[in-house]
Amino acid sequence: MKDVKIKLVGLNKKTRPQVSIDGNILQFKKNEFDSYECQFQTENNEIELVVTRELELKYKFWWLFAVISFIVSIFGIFEPFYDRKSIAIDARFKVKLDSQNSITLKFNPLSTQGKAVTLEGANEPGEIENRFYIDKIAKKRWILLLILKIMVWIGLGCSIAFLIAKYL
């Protein structure tokens, strides 16, 4: 059995990655230094480490969650903002293992260019893919959602102005 200790460093509140090893999604716990750690055990001599950042607007029922959160948050006043740049992460590594392994994933600031993650402490890491990219589907949905929110606010403003004018 080989132990793998994974640490995530350099995360900000917009970067919420999903990390998996050989298809198993890992659950991380926050430590006292504002980084996240996880312990994983495997029988394999080599693992495939996958780091992704899927955007909420990319999911199947995105419109249902958007409508519910818009209404519950009092027409978007208290709604958390969606990432307007729609930047996603796609990083895949092949890592050879010893009996004890410590891997640190350092996240670079979100941008449209460059590497997304820097892998440290691994034995012979093989980088398959490591990039930021703009998710075009999420970007189009974000624009559509913004237009609909503006139309709802204009409609509410007109309705309130009409009611005030009618009863005053």
Could you give the CA distance from residue 161 to residue 115 in angstroms, rounded to a whole number?
Answer: 51
The pLDDT tens digits of the residues spanning 52-105 come to 888 888 888 988 988 888 888 888 788 777 777 888 888 898 888 887 788 888
Per the structure, how many domains does the chain have? 1
Question: Higher model confidence: residue 12 or residue 9?
Answer: 9
State the Cα torsion 138-144-146-151 to the nearest 10°: -170
Residue 34 has pLDDT above 80, yes or no: no
Q: In the beta sheet, which residues pair with residue 111?
A: none
Q: What is the pTM of this model?
A: 0.77
Look over the chain and give the mean of its residue pLDDT values, rounded to a whole number: 86
Would you mind telling me the total number of residues written for the chain in this entry?
168
Q: For residue 57, what are the domain limits?
A: 2-167
**pLDDT > 70? residue 167:** yes
- Check: CB of residue 3 under 8 Å from CB of residue 41: yes
Q: Which two tokens stand for residue 64?
A: 């249902």
Q: What is the pLDDT of residue 168?
A: 81
Give pLDDT, residue 122.
67
Task: Report residue 164's pLDDT band, with 50, 70 and 90 as the boundaries.
Answer: very high
Mean pLDDT, residues 11-32: 83
pLDDT at 154: 96
Q: Which residue has the higher pLDDT, 123 or 10?
A: 10
**What is the C-alpha separation between 129 and 143, in angstroms, rounded?**
29
Q: What angle do CA 48, 27, 52 make, to 5 degrees?
A: 50
Quote the percentage of the chain above a pLDDT of 70: 98
Nearest CA-CA partner of 15 in 103, 122, 105: 105
Phi, psi at 79, each rounded to 5°: -80, 135
pLDDT band at residue 160 under the 50/70/90 scheme: very high
